[in-house]
Amino acid sequence: MRCPFCSHPESKVLDSRPTEEGNAIRRRRECLVCGRRFTTYEKVEQVPLLVVKRDGRREAFSRQKIIGGLVRSCEKRPVPISALEALAEEVEQEVRNSAENEVPSVAIGEMVMERLRKLDEVAYVRFASVYRQFTDIKRFREELEKLLEGAES
Torsion sign across C-alpha atoms 65, 104, 148, 126:
positive
Residues 8-42: pLDDT tens digits?
999 999 999 998 777 789 999 999 999 999 999 99
CA atoms within 13 A on the CB side of 66: 28
- The band of 44, judged by pLDDT with boundaries at 50, 70 and 90, is confident
Quote the mean pLDDT of the chain: 90
| Residue 43 pLDDT | 86
128 in Cβ contact with 139 (< 8 Å): no
- The band of 83, judged by pLDDT with boundaries at 50, 70 and 90, is very high
Residue 81 to residues 20, 23, 48, 62: CA-CA distances in angstroms?
A: 21, 22, 26, 17
| Residue 6 pLDDT | 97
Residues 88-128: pLDDT tens digits?
999 998 998 888 899 999 999 999 999 999 999 899 888 98
pLDDT at 151 over 70: no
pLDDT at 5 over 90: yes
Radius of gyration of the chain (CA): 23
Q: Among candidates 45, 48, 8, 49, which has minimal Cα distance to 30?
A: 8
Name the percent of the chain lying above pLDDT 90.
Answer: 65
Q: Where are the alpha helices (DSSP H) in 24-80?
A: 63-73
